[in-house]
C-alpha cells in the first residue's frame, strides 16, 4: 500500500532495504529453538552491520538523523516483524532502552551509552514493570535512596525484555515514595553493577528474551540519574509516546505476513473441487483482513508523521495506532489461521507462529484497555 503523503524518497528506499535485509539475513534466524539468546545476539550483530541500529540514536552519537525519525523506526519494525518477532523485539529494545538517555541523559551519559547501542556493541533494556505495578506506574515500589555521591537502589522488576542479556538498563524507582508518580526517577544501571541480580528468566508463548531482575543494595553513581529527581514519570511517558506507534507498526508487519500467507494458501488449497479463494465466505474474510490492515497502517504512519513534523506530544495518535493496529492484527492473524484450517495450528507453520507472537503486543507498552483510557482522556480534554 502506498503512503505517499507520509513518506519521503528516503523512507521508500529504507522500506526496500529492510525488506531485502529481512529476507536475506533475518529469515534464517527466524526458526525457533532453544538457543534464543544466541539468536538474539546474532540478530543485533546483523542489524548493526546493516546500519539499522543507527536509526535508534541521534546523529551526534552515531545515528543518521539529528533526532529520531519515527517513520523510519516504524518502517524497520514493520519489515522485521513480517519475518521474525524476535528480530523486531531486539531492534525495538535498542530504541526503547536507550531513548530515555537521548531524552534526559547528561552529555557524558549520551556519549557513554548511545554510540555502543548504534554499533550493536551494547544491548539496552527498559525496566519499568514490577510484580505489583504494571499499568499503575504510581504503584512502583523500587526505591533509590540518595547517599552522598551515589544512590542505593532496591527493588524487583519483572517482564523485562532483554533481562540477563542487556548490558545496561534504564530503571525507574521512587526517590520520594510519598509523592506517587511524582516521586519517580530514572537511572542508568549497568548489568555488572554489584547488587544487580538476574532473578529469573521467563518463558513466553513466543520467542522473547524476558525475565525478572532484582536490585539488592545496588549502588549507582549519582550522575547516572536521568534528568532531575521526580522526572521519571515524564521520561517514561515521553518514551512510550514515541514507541507506542512503533509497536503498532510491528503489529502491521505481522498482519501483512498473515494476509499474504492467507492469500497464497486460499489460492492453492482445493476443497469441493475448487480453490478456497473462490468461495464467497473466504473472499469476505480476505476483504475484511485487507481493509483492517490498511486502516491500521494509516493510523500508524499518521502518528509517526505528526511526531516527525515536530509535534511535542502525539499521545492520542500513538495510542489510537497502538490500540487499533494490535487488535486488528490479532483479528487478521486469527482469520489467517482459520483459512488454513488444520494446517494453521501445526507447530512451526508461519500463521501458527504469528498467532503466538501477536498476543503480547496487545499487552506491553500499555494494554488495549489502557489505550482506551488514554484516548478517552485526550478526547475529553477538549470538551
Mean pLDDT, contiguous 10-residue spans, the chain (383 residues): 76 95 91 86 97 98 96 98 97 97 98 98 97 90 95 97 97 94 96 96 93 97 97 95 96 98 97 97 98 97 94 93 98 98 95 97 95 96 78
Q: What is the pLDDT of residue 69?
A: 96
Give the CATH number for residue 52.
1.10.540.10
Q: What is the pLDDT of residue 1?
A: 54
185 in the same domain as 213: yes
260 in the same domain as 138: no
Cell numbers describing residue 77: 519494525
Output DSSP code: residue 364. Answer: T
Q: What residues does 220 pair with on adjacent strands? A: 151
376 in the same domain as 263: yes
**SS3 state of residue 310:** coil
Q: Shortest CA distance to 77 belongs to which of 296, 254, 283?
A: 254
319 in the same domain as 212: no
Residues contacting 107, CB < 8 A, separation 6+: none
Q: How far is Cα of residue 31 from the mean position of the Cα atoms in its chain?
A: 20
Give the range of the structural domain holding residue 84, as residue numbers without chain letter.
9-122
Q: What is the pLDDT of residue 238?
A: 94
37 in the same domain as 71: yes
31 in the same domain as 57: yes
Inside any domain, residue 340: yes
Q: What is the pLDDT of residue 32?
A: 79
Could you say which of 171, 196, 230 is where a domain stops?
230
- 290-316 per-residue burial string, b: 16 or more CB within 10 A, e: under 16: bebbeebbbbbbbbbbbbbeeeeebbb
246 in the same domain as 346: yes
Q: Shortest CA distance to 369 belongs to which of 323, 328, 326, 338?
A: 323
- Cβ atoms < 10 Å from Cβ of 25: 18
Q: What is the pLDDT of residue 271?
A: 96
Q: What residues does 210 pair with on adjacent strands? A: 161, 202
Q: What is the pLDDT of residue 34?
A: 80
Inside any domain, residue 3: no
139 in the same domain as 72: no
Which residues have a catalytic role annotated? 365
300 in the same domain as 266: yes
Inside any domain, residue 2: no
Are 251 and 358 within 8 A, CB to CB?
yes
Cell numbers describing residue 344: 494453521
225 in the same domain as 241: no
Amino acid at each position: 500500500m502506498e503512503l505517499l503523503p507520509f513518506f519521503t524518497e528516503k523512507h521508500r528506499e529504507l522500506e526496500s532495504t529492510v525488506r531485502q535485509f529481512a529476507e536475506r539475513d533475518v529469515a534464517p534466524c527466524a526458526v525457533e529453538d532453544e538457543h534464543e539468546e544466541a539468536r538474539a545476539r546474532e540478530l543485533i550483530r546483523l542489524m548493526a552491520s546493516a546500519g539499522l541500529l543507527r536509526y535508534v540514536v541521534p546523529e551526534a552519537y552515531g545515528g543518521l538523523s539529528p533526532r529520531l525519525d519515527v517513520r523510519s523506526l516504524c518502517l524497520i519494525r514493520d519489515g522485521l516483524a513480517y519475518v521474525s518477532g524476535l528480530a523486531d523485539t531486539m531492534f525495538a529494545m535498542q530504541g526503547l532502552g536507550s531513548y530515555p538517555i537521548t531524552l534526559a541523559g547528561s552529555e557524558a551519559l549520551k556519549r557513554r551509552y548511545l554510540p555502543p547501542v548504534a554499533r550493536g556493541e551494547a544491548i539496552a533494556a527498559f525496566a519499568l514493570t514490577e510484580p505489583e505495578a504494571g499499568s499503575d506506574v504510581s504503584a512502583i515500589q523500587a526505591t533509590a535512596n540518595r547517599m552522598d555521591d551515589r544512590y542505593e537502589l532496591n527493588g524487583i522488576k519483572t517482564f523485562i525484555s532483554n533481562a540477563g542479556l542487556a548490558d545496561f538498563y534504564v530503571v525507574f524507582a521512587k526517590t520520594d515514595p510519598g509523592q506517587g508518580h511524582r516521586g519517580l526517577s530514572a537511572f542508568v544501571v549497568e548489568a555488572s553493577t554489584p547488587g544487580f541480580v538476574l532473578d529469573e528468566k521467563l518463558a513466553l508463548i513466543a520467542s522473547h528474551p524476558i525475565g525478572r531482575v532484582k536490585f539488592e543494595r545496588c549502588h549507582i553513581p549519582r550522575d547516572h540519574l536521568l534528568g532531575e529527581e521526580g522526572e521519571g514519570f515524564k521520561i517514561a511517558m515521553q518514551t512510550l509516546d514515541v514507541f507506542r506507534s512503533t509497536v503498532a507498526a510491528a503489529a502491521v508487519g505481522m498482519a501483512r505476513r498473515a494476509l499474504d500467507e492467507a492469500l497464497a494458501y486460499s489460492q492453492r488449497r482445493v476443497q469441493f473441487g475448487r480453490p478456497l479463494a473462490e468461495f464467497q465466505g473466504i473472499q469476505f474474510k480476505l476483504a475484511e483482513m485487507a481493509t483492517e490492515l490498511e486502516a491500521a497502517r494509516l493510523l500508524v504512519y499518521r502518528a509517526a508523521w505528526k511526531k516527525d513534523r515536530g509535534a511535542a506530544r502525539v499521545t492520542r495518535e500513538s495510542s489510537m495506532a497502538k490500540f487499533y493496529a494490535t487488535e486488528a492484527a490479532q483479528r487478521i492473524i486469527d482469520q489467517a489461521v482459520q483459512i488454513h484450517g488444520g494446517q494453521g495450528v501445526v507447530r512451526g507453520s508461519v500463521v501458527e507462529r504469528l498467532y503466538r507472537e501477536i498476543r503480547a503486543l496487545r499487552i506491553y507498552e500499555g494494554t488495549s484497555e489502557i489505550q482506551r483510557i488514554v484516548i478517552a482522556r485526550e478526547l475529553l480534554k477538549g470538551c
